Amino acid sequence: MIIQKFGGTSVGNAERIKNLINLINFDESNIVVLSAVSGTTNKLVSITESLYTQNKTEACAKIGELEKEYFQLAQELFETSSKLAESTKLIEAHFSYLRLFAERSFTLLQEKAILAQGELLSTAFFQFLLEERQIPSVLLPALEFMRIDKNLDPDEYYIKENLKRLLSKHTDNKLFITQGYICRNAYGEIDNLKRGGSDYTASLIGQAAKVREIQIWTDIDGLHNNDPRFVKNTQPVAELSFEEAAELAYFGAKILHPSSILPAKQENIPVRLKNSLKAERPGTIIQDKQENSGIKAIAAKDNITVVRIKSDRMLFAYGFLRKVFEVFEIYKTPIDMITTSEVAVSMSIDDTTHLKEILIDLQKFGQTDVEENQVIIALVGLIPTTENGYASKVFDALSNIPIKMISYGASNHNISVLIDQENKTEALNALHTKLYSLNSHE
């Protein structure tokens, strides 16, 4: 069995949805995971924003506009009047459901239900198309097997057992379609795996069903050696290890959801990144493989906040860091980077939900201060500390940019530097020129 996940661009219009049929592997059992049509989730977010601000007229206007887009998509997608009629009914049902929310006061729970509509629509449309073409397939409702627990982590046992139960009802069937991104939470309510979460759905299903390969089809020919949104002439990286890919996903390479590599790594399932617009391109393969040393790619993680504690009591004290970390643990706030001196500790976080409480608790250890609008630039590859030259290249490239923190040597796979957000593009470009200018095809 394999998993093929197609992102928003790959289902972005009628022509691309039809083209999925050329990309699907019909030779073996296949669970196809679909995102919402590109732009839909953003539009649903915008509808929830209008509802939060009680602007019901604006919300209804946005719902009406999006509904029109789906009527248009159905016109372009289906050839038979029966499927057009079925899809019209489906659109009306989903959008009258959305309109119901404008009649009541709005809550977070309802927001999650609204955001789920994109994936529900795209998968229903694709299933209709397959039916119209008489291609056998089964629509697996993700809300019946994908679940997160009280800590918002995937409930692996529930996912595995329920997926098995659903698949066992269709032993003769080879092609399955399901929704990415959406799930239920520990209370059975509709929830999601956070933005970009369809990649995570694909790897969680891959892990649960122990598949042969997980394919992520998107709008670019694999993972590039730098962020193509900020740097020109980036190049695809042919091969990455699980560790390298996990670091890149976590540190901002948007092509992969931050958590999507771990489930594949746990079951040793290769992850292949492919371009649905240029299927002939090789893309990137992520697998358990010893690689040659070198910095393979650079990524940037935005919206980082630094928390610093200065304390005379830290001098020669043991147990101080444990007490500091405990505060972050209580508030379930992960720390990304940390540097220490004899009298101070700096830590970077990206989740500031509980920052206020964290600062109050930390004050008993010393004087605290906070710096916002920071970015972590992560250089990822196989970077053995026994080989020289890596740190000097990084410092050379960034000689004109103030570096706030550095992390080097913690793992063989990552050198991270923390800089001001405003220097991000310059830093990514300077590092690119320094590290890859000989390889780039300018």
Q: Which does 118 bind (CB under 5 to 8 A by kind): ligand ADP, Mg ion, ligand ASP, none?
A: ligand ASP
Strand partners, 408: 415
Tokens of 389: 């030259």
Specify the residue, 25 or 88, whose C-beta has the smaller distance to ligand ADP. Answer: 25
Choose which of 228, 262, 406, 425 interacts with ligand ADP (CB under 6 A).
228
Type of residue numbered 257: H
Q: How far is the CB of 275 from ligand ASP (least distance, A)?
A: 16
Choose which of 68, 133, 195, 232 interacts with ligand ASP (CB under 6 A).
195
Choose which of 154, 180, 258, 381 interacts with ligand ASP (CB under 6 A).
180
Residue 219 found at the interface with ligand ADP (CB under 6 A): yes
Q: Which of residues 146-165 bind ligand ADP (CB under 6 A)?
A: none
Q: Which does 181 bind (CB under 5 to 8 A by kind): Mg ion, ligand ADP, ligand ASP, none?
A: ligand ASP
Site size for ligand ASP (CB under 6 A): 12
Strand partners, 375: 419
Distance CA(259)–CA(157), nearest Å, equals: 18
Secondary structure of 357-408 in the HEC alphabet?
HHHHHHCCCCEEEEEEEEEEEEEEEECCCCCCCHHHHHHHHCCCCCCCEEEE
Specify the residue, 116 or 397, whose C-beta has the smaller distance to ligand ASP. Answer: 116
Choose which of 224, 296, 301, 424 interacts with ligand ADP (CB under 6 A).
224
Q: Which of residues 183-212 bind Mg ion (CB under 5 A)?
A: 196
Contact 285, 270 (CB under 8 A): yes
Specify the residue, 7 or 222, whose C-beta has the smaller distance to Mg ion. Answer: 7
Sequence-distant contacts of 17-26: CB under 8 A, at least 24 apart: 17/77, 17/122, 17/125, 17/126, 17/129, 18/77, 18/129, 19/276, 20/126, 20/276, 21/129, 21/130, 21/133, 21/135, 22/279, 23/217, 23/276, 23/279, 24/175, 26/174, 26/175
Site size for ligand ADP (CB under 6 A): 18
Q: Which of residues 285-344 bind ligand ADP (CB under 6 A)?
A: 297, 299
Q: How many residues does the chain have?
A: 442
Specify the residue, 154 or 236, whose C-beta has the smaller distance to ligand ADP. Answer: 236
Distance CA(372)–CA(406), nearest Å, equals: 17
* Burial class, 108, CB count within 10 angstroms (exposed 0-12 / middle 13-18 / buried 19+): exposed
Residue 118 found at the interface with ligand ASP (CB under 6 A): yes
Q: Which does 219 bind (CB under 5 to 8 A by kind): Mg ion, ligand ADP, ligand ASP, none?
A: ligand ADP
Q: Which does 41 bind (CB under 5 to 8 A by kind): ligand ASP, Mg ion, ligand ADP, none?
A: ligand ASP
**344 HSE (CA, 13 A, CB side):** 12
Binding site for ligand ASP (CB under 6 A): 7-8, 35-36, 41, 118, 180-181, 195-198
Binding site for Mg ion (CB under 5 A): 7, 196
